Structure 1
């Protein structure tokens, strides 16, 4: 304490040496005491400066030279909070022209300073700094203010609307008082004492004003079945909002445009619903523009696919277009749809004609055809039948008959190494064969091969006539292997080993190198 043992002005000593020097200089004309209001002995104190540990107050030794024994129990930074509360409250009330009386309750159960009673002519507060003394909510003349460690139950918060809290924050060598307001369902809001005031309800903070206004507001009227406060215009506005939502869910541009027009013409709607209508109409117009752009792009893609006669793409896009145009369709869109239908019809007719041509070619085969030729033609027949779709029972029976005959002659398709057709497309990369012109269908470099007798229909694989020259050139460039030439010394034929035990003759190796240098064609 400052000045005397009974002083009500607490001090907190800085713990750093450099700060203690400034503290000593500031209070060089004062004395420090172990305050009785803190539960101390009332003896005089001195300051102890350390550079290797915290600085602190210390008692003067007893007259006999022995260390002084003090009975003070609480020595923490919050042990003087009741005095800081007194100092802050006195200054706050003095600014309002009030002079207060302060009492610090203490007993065996409640330590000294647990409760601070503040009374002045126009009010009274009881500050509970800890849980030692339970707050009395119904006691007149004392409004409880609770420390942060003092609990309060839910029912009390609901019944009283709010309770006040108090906390002290360390700022330098002092403690600053903050007042909080806690309410049920709200976070505690904290304020300085300057933000607080005394009203007819007692201590008041800005949060108290908001809580009272919220609790005092008139409750909204309860809705009862069969009771409607909407006007005819409001009812129609709600219907339009639902119709616009339905139009967007079903992707109906025509319905959305109709609803937006009616929204713009509807008058006499309540302000709240009018705001919803305006927002929904703006959003709807943006959606209509976006969907219209997507629709134009869809029809453009379909028209391009029709021009390129891409049957698969036309069929896929046509389904999407018809779904998008189920409500309304412009003349231009109808033209594109008609062109797509005609394109699919033409392609189907061409495929059917091609299938008939293949069947006629097979009928012209001799009774004992070449197995490889038969296999190739039947494979093409099966592919054409698959692409033609519905071919009727008569042609289906003929296709199955040729398939069964081919199986009897050459065995099951793609079984056995000896009967497997050469897959030339697996031996040449796409980049390489796209550089060549196809001698069979006339496809230029960079273009895929076309289906025979079906203009505009592209094959998934190139013709073998386009691939074989590339493979032949590759073979010509391949180095000759030793056992691909006849040995000049022992006369062993290609693929036969030389008669020597140590490997091929030197002359055979040199001959293979010579063939490679001369780029002689392989057999």
Structure 2
């Protein structure tokens, strides 16, 4: 899904062809109220706004302001749309219908609205209102200047930024203008009239204006202008100031003060100066009275206008307070207070409305703070719960790891115990086979053999178990008759002397056997296996080149001093060189009176068990 970087503030309701506009609040909290107010209503990027006609959603702003955004299409692409960061004024041409339709119908007109779309002007630049054969033409876009010739058939109304040529303004005498101001999620129309050399008098409400039989918009300023022109019987062009008669100096200064106060919008000063001027009326006459009265009338018009604005603000504020519209109250309250900076203080009724507004805003702020605190507490509780869950999970994992470690340690200890027991089986069977023992000694060794075999369990090879069983059966056999010739015990049976007696070893093999034993001891302490080639490389001249028979003789001599209950050091050679195990190790075992399994797999098991036992025995030597 693509990221929509557009900040669209205006939309239309219910349909892409709609001319019913709405403004999205920029504040995140105000957006919540907006969503509640328009729940169930769809928003569209209206074609009359210059949009693509796609559906919009409201997007809550965190870094940016809240705004409308396009729904992504099924392919995850943003819709093609020409609206890029357009402000709320982009929909003002649609608010023309919203603002004027009921007003015109109340005067007996049947208005028809047309939003003129020209190639060289954006949509909404021109809004045409047809009124029973007459036309009101509103120029809304400052980039599209009005065409004086094309507007002769109807009245022209200009937006606040639309320029009119000074000569055209002088020829016409005045021009009416329109602007929109935001009020909540709507835009309110305000009317004004611009006079040559004077400027624009703004903020007339529609209720103060009418459309006459010629289809012209008549504001209070236009009414005064037409009345003055009719009274003087003059053309619309105003007279130069140099031709106007001035009153006495005091009266002239007072009139200038009144006009300056009105121009600076100092309403309180205008009221005071107007009251002062009214006190001077009885002592004036002629042109002085005329100038003074004109200034008083000007002041009264300004004061009446400010009173009207003030009443409207307070009426809207009072209604917003009564209906609990927090957004409208928060928007109107600063504007109302701003009036008092240049006007008289609030009346008791106005003060009551302001007090109610302040109370409502304070309650709203307190409620919002409570909601924030509650949300913070929920988030903190959720964080604590997550931390507790994580801690419990970590404890579980630690306990499981400790249990697995204990199991592994137990298994390793069991393997080591069974390996030691297997070594004891091999040692005991060797003693039973080599040594001449009495019957009682044999029984005692067989009992130890049975216990060791039971502890070794499945670590015993089939051949080793068979040997154990043979010795158990021999000990359990009945005693022989006295006259029966005594048979030779297995241990006393002569073994074939296949090797040269160590005493008969050549002199050069004795130091070689000592060197080999030393090298095997070093390997046992380092818990590593070795090979004959490695020994030759390691010992150098201390281990000359030997025949196969000489190698066996050297190893037998090297292990001659190994205790009967300990495995042979030469098992490290058998473990490090499987070929050596099968070729020579059996001869070494037989020469030392130890059992050598015929099966290669069984021999490999014996070598592994002996090697592990050698590492254990020599670890601390």
* Structure with the bigger percentage of helix: 2
Structure with larger Rg: 2
TM-score (ref. length: structure 2): 0.34
Structure-1-length-normalised TM-score: 0.41
